[in-house]
Chains A and B, each alone.
Chain A
Amino acid sequence: MNGDKTKKILAGAMAAGLAGVVTTGFVAGWQRFWVNWIFWFLFILTIGLGALFIVALEHVVGAKWSVPLRRVPERLSGLVLLMGLAAIVALLALPVIYPWTNPASLSDPVIAGKAGWLNVRFFAIRVLICVGLWFLSYRILVSGSIQQDESKDPKFNVRARRFAPVFMVIFGITITVVAFDWISSLEPAWYSDVFGVYVFAGTFLAGLAATTLAVLYLQARGRLRGVTPDHIYNLGGFLFAFSVFWAYIGFAQYLLMWYANMPEEVFWYKERLQGMWGPLVLALAIFHFFVPFFMLIPRDAKTGHTRLFWVAMLMLVAHGLDLYWMIFPVLGKGPVFSWPELSFGLFFIGAGLLWMRHAMSRSADMPVGDPFLREGLEFRL
């Protein structure tokens, strides 16, 4: 085992990233700094939230097949805690890149009408409430499951099954708040009711893709023994279905605004379709929907390790592209990707992977105390 070596590489990458992150602020400007911060923190946060949603989904519907895999999304959902801190730090971004914090913006009647929601104090309160609710949900759903490894106490399953529906409500509200507050309010005059659902679709996909990647990674190293292609098939099926869902919601939002052609709505798309953003949107449609869709149609593709690995990797990159397309146009330029973005990526992904390594050392690979584990292992299509 060269665990220490990997750890050193990750820590080194993170340190190099941190140097780039600090330099970005002083050299490339604080606007670039905070836009990057928002983008990367949301990228990691949505992976964690998607994973937490998968955990809760299992408890809500009483699924048995996913019990052997559950520890993977449980570990991934720990990213929510790390990114909760990043969210609190990101409050400093408000005066720099969020136009509604500027009092002059209130001369626009639309933005003035939203002042009751978009003001710094209420924004900060919402962030704190969201982070608190996520922390609470993590404590109940994930920490309880890890404790069950030792205690083998089936009471946890009852408690999780009771709490999971509550979490669904919490999740629905907080993911919408994340979408409206952190992403949509970068353009405070814009509004779209379905935006929260759109971000949810991306979030769930990101969580699924990360879970699939982690499962395949562990399997390739001979861990997760007893997980069969039948289990993997379900993950592939979920990826397939929700890439279609994402495309459906994304296109529905675009179609309605395109039809109505109201200036107060379409400017958002206009900014995000002009210049080099146009080809980028095309790439988004191709890599977030068409390629995964056609690659995952055959039955064998959903169980084949190599293909599923690349599709899941592609989904994760496409999710990043999706967030990038929503957030970066506020810089008022074409797509930029240079050393600031790379160093932020090193810093955030390095931190996330280190956090995951830590989580992996803290618990067994499967929820060994769960009474349904055996039934889950026996699952066949």
Chain B
Amino acid sequence: MSNRTFSVLGLFDSAQQLMDAIPPVKARVPGRLEAYTPYPIHGIDGALGLRKSPVGGMVFVMGLLGAISTLAFELWTEGIDYPMMTGGKPIFSWQAFVPVMFEVMVLFACFTSGLGMLFLLNRLPFFRHPMLRSKSMPLITRDKFALAVEADGLELDVDACTAALRAAGAHSIEVLEQPAPPGPVSPNFLMRVAAGVGISCLLAGYLTYWGVKVFPIAMPMTHMLDQPRLDPQSADSFFKDGFGMRMPVTGTVARGQLPYTIKNQDDAAVLGNPLPRSASVLKQGRQAFMTYCFVCHGVLGDGTPSLTAAYGAKPANLMSEKFRNYPDGMIYHVIMMGKNAMPSYAAELSEDERWAVVNYVRVLQRAMNAKDSDIPKETSK
């Protein structure tokens, strides 16, 4: 009749009837044969003469491509662009590259098989497929088996097809028309718009990257970096002498920054402890001691924590007689200036904290060398 025909459909009652009908129909009419069945039928692809699916080859190529490109990327990042030694291994450690190669290969292969099957080969979404409007479709999804002769670009002789299908045992025939030409907002149009937007986004991102990194036409927001300010330890033309940092004004002292002029530990013996031995001071002292001092001197101040033993250091045993006889000022001096391997803790501990630590050390010394007379009377009874 006309090339308006999409396909001629014949319905069969069983899978066996359908299989038996394929060879005679194939012999009598040209055109592509297609079967629609409620469930997959073994051997039907061979009987219909379908071409071998190219999915396997696509997956193979893309998987290989994924593996090779990942290997190249890893070699480039790890070995050329930013060579970095990791765990004492050589720069080009192929062993470390294998898991990523494997994962990307699987990713490429999966995406290729899934998306390639849906979009490239099956041309989905195909909402206007004539089969979806056919009267036979509800039957096919239930218990009927359909054999279709599809025009596939050729002109279909509907009468010959009907006769061939009838002769092969089809009990009802349906002729399907070509789908109407799509309207302006077809699914294909929407797909193209979506693809266009996606590609534009990629392009915009890429251009922004190049614009910023390679041709710095428009810098990203750097207001905080660019503001006028004095940087520490660097030259600046703001002051006459060209230094960015200032000396303290002569004759002044910054808050909490009392000058310390004693050079010799013995001279520090004259320093008086300004803090009372009150509960709050001792609490502050313990806090500081348990933050900085105990790491080497031990929780009890006896110089035997596990850490120092592991490194072979011998910190002072603060509980020994020598340190018990030190005046407060000499202990303060060591915290301030350091001694032997011990560095100065002036930067870590404030003036008050240093004296509080001295008080706490005194308490430890007293507790570690307790006498019978220290036990309260009520308890000793």
Contacts and interface: CB of A to CB of B under 8 A. Distances in A.
Contacts of A254: 95
A245 to B, nearest CB: 13
Contacts of B153: none
A299 B95 CA distance: 31
Contacts of B232: none
Contacts of A255: 95-96, 98-99
A380 B87 contact: no
Contacts of A258: 95
Given A254-B95, A255-B99, A261 B43 contact: no
Contacts of B108: none
B56 A259 contact: no
A381 interface: yes
B42 interface: yes
Interface string B82-121: 0000011000000110110000000000000000000000
Interface of A: 251, 254-255, 258-259, 261, 297-299, 380-381
Given A255-B98, A255-B99, A380-B43, 17 more contacts: A251-B98, A254-B95, A255-B95, A255-B96, A258-B95, A259-B87, A259-B95, A259-B96, A261-B87, A261-B88, A297-B56, A297-B60, A298-B56, A299-B52, A299-B56, A380-B42, A381-B42
A299 B45 CA distance: 15
| A interface SS class | helix
Nearest to A251: B98
A44 B88 CA distance: 42
Contacts of B88: 261
A64 to B, nearest CB: 14
B61 to A, nearest CB: 11
Interface of B: 42-43, 52, 56, 60, 87-88, 95-96, 98-99
18 contacts: A251-B98, A254-B95, A255-B95, A255-B96, A255-B98, A258-B95, A259-B87, A259-B95, A259-B96, A261-B87, A261-B88, A297-B56, A297-B60, A298-B56, A299-B52, A299-B56, A380-B42, A381-B42
Contacts of B42: 380-381
A380 B87 CA distance: 53
A254 B98 CA distance: 12
Contacts of A259: 87, 95-96
Contacts of B98: 251, 255
Contacts of B99: 255
Contacts of B52: 299
Contacts of B56: 297-299
A254 B42 CA distance: 43
Nearest to A378: B42
Contacts of A297: 56, 60
A54 B43 CA distance: 27
A374 to B, nearest CB: 16
**A-B complex: 3 closest residue pairs judged by Cβ atoms:** A380-B42, A258-B95, A255-B95
A259 B93 CA distance: 10
A298 B52 CA distance: 11
A258 B60 CA distance: 30
A259 B98 CA distance: 13
A380 B19 CA distance: 15
A259 B99 CA distance: 12
B153 to A, nearest CB: 29
Contacts of B95: 254-255, 258-259
A242 to B, nearest CB: 17
B60 to A, nearest CB: 6
Nearest to A294: B60
A251 B43 CA distance: 39
B163 to A, nearest CB: 32
Contacts of B96: 255, 259
A254 B88 CA distance: 17
B264 to A, nearest CB: 51
B252 to A, nearest CB: 59
A8 B43 CA distance: 46
Contacts of A251: 98
A254 B52 CA distance: 39
A378 B60 CA distance: 31
A92 to B, nearest CB: 40
A24 to B, nearest CB: 38
A290 B216 CA distance: 48
A221 to B, nearest CB: 27
B37 to A, nearest CB: 15
A298 B60 CA distance: 10
Nearest to A230: B42
A208 B256 CA distance: 82
Nearest to A300: B52
A258 B56 CA distance: 34
B46 to A, nearest CB: 10
A251 B98 CA distance: 9
Nearest to A260: B87
A255 B60 CA distance: 25
